[in-house]
Amino acid sequence: MNADIKVNFLNNIDKISTSDWQTLNNSSCPFLCYDFFNALEKSQSVSAKQGWQPHHLITTFNNKVTAVMPMYLKSHSWGEYVFDWDWADAFKRNGIDYYPKLVATIPFTPVSSDKLLSSQLKMHELFEPLIEHCYQENINSWHILYCDEIKTDLPEDIYQRNTVQFHWFNRDYKTFDDYLSTFTSRKRKNTRKERLSIIEQDINIRQLKNSEISQQDLDFFYLTYQLTYLKRGHQPHLSYEFFKQLLANMSDNILLLIASHEQEDIACALFFYDDSQLYGRYWGCTKKVNNLHFELCYYRGIEFCIQNKLQSFNPGTQGEHKIQRGFEPVLTHSYHWIKHPHFKAAIKSFCQQEQAHMLTYQEQCQQLLPFKKID
């Protein structure tokens, strides 16, 4: 990297101008826009108190901002979805601090994207400045999560990890039935049976986009969002104020589906979308209804993509039940550096074994897809 390029770390998004951020952001992904990160901080959904201290990397050249990478100092590993709890436990058993760590990610949002906003710098050029910063500030590791794959050879002490997500791809389908025609007969019958059950149970579903979402709709969504976490014994990660700010400031990227029975709202699913992709994010319900999760979170999302000619649909992490509904296994990428010398070899070995396992797992999942075999 050019020696004249200065690297700094900022503890507040207000210290980065909206215009600088948006000038550098060439992605249409809604989670990379300034308003999304601003809402996280202004609503206190991410803060030092929450264990998510903003520590955003910026580079400047001749006093002009040339790159931004949203980063956070973490005192835990919640909300990341690339799990390193075993690493933290190993450190703890040996009386060594694992935290704080420095993480480049979109909080609570496991969506692959180029986390570095820049037209001039490449991700690998920041490896050395990040390492130097960790030594200077007594930070024990850095992690870049859900980023684009780095094609260059990695330094010896930087490790790649992979996970598998399940995504749907639009192959120029005209209707949902057109999509189902690619399934085997048995899988096609099962899917139609699931969808028919929603009608038979007298469930109505309304689709709301952007300004069509009312305060009452938002209130119901947040109720179900809270219930999803409370049922698992956790507090919600994101505050009501966060979603309220998104609805006010990101008015072209939000889709809300609400299911009702006998004029009572009982479930909803919140999505984001851009000009090419749909992102399934949050689901919740006040009453359990057979197959309603599949209808709201998957089938209606697929229909939305077909109707709006979106190329793909990322419904979120995990969930092998997505495979039989046509969501294909894709690899995600993240990169990691650990400061403590005695753990480097063990973590490198772990990452290499995990990579091999994930490739095998992806191949196995590929064999379980519902599509007809083509010679």
Task: Work out the widest C-alpha separation in the chain, in whole angstroms.
Answer: 67
Q: Mean pLDDT for each 10-residue chunk of the chain (375 residues)?
A: 87 95 94 97 96 97 95 96 96 97 97 94 96 97 97 95 98 98 97 98 96 95 94 89 94 94 97 97 95 97 98 92 97 97 96 97 97 79
What's residue 251's pLDDT?
78
> What tens digit of pLDDT does each residue of 142-152 get?
999 999 999 99
List Cβ neighbours of 212 (8 Å cut-off, separation of 6 or more). none
Residue linked to tokens 């077909």: 306
> What tens digit of pLDDT does each residue of 293-317 get?
999 999 999 999 999 999 999 998 8
CA 93 to CA 98: how far, in whole Å?
11
What's residue 3's pLDDT?
73
β-sheet with 254-261: strand ranges across? 52-54, 71-74, 101-104, 141-147, 328-338, 158-169, 312-314, 277-285, 264-273, 254-261, 203-209
| CATH (residue range 171-310) | 3.40.630.30
CB atoms within 10 A of CB 73: 19
Query: Identity (one letter) of the amino acid at 336?
Result: H
Cis peptide before 329 (omega within 30 of 0): no
Q: Which CATH architecture has domain 6-164+330-366?
A: 3-Layer(aba) Sandwich (3.40)
Return residue ranges of the chain for CATH 3.40.630.30: 171-310
Contact indicator for 66, 127 with CB cutoff of 8 Å: no
Instruction: In the chain, count H helices and then E strands.
Output: 11, 14
What's residue 300's pLDDT?
98
CA 167 to CA 335: how far, in whole Å?
22
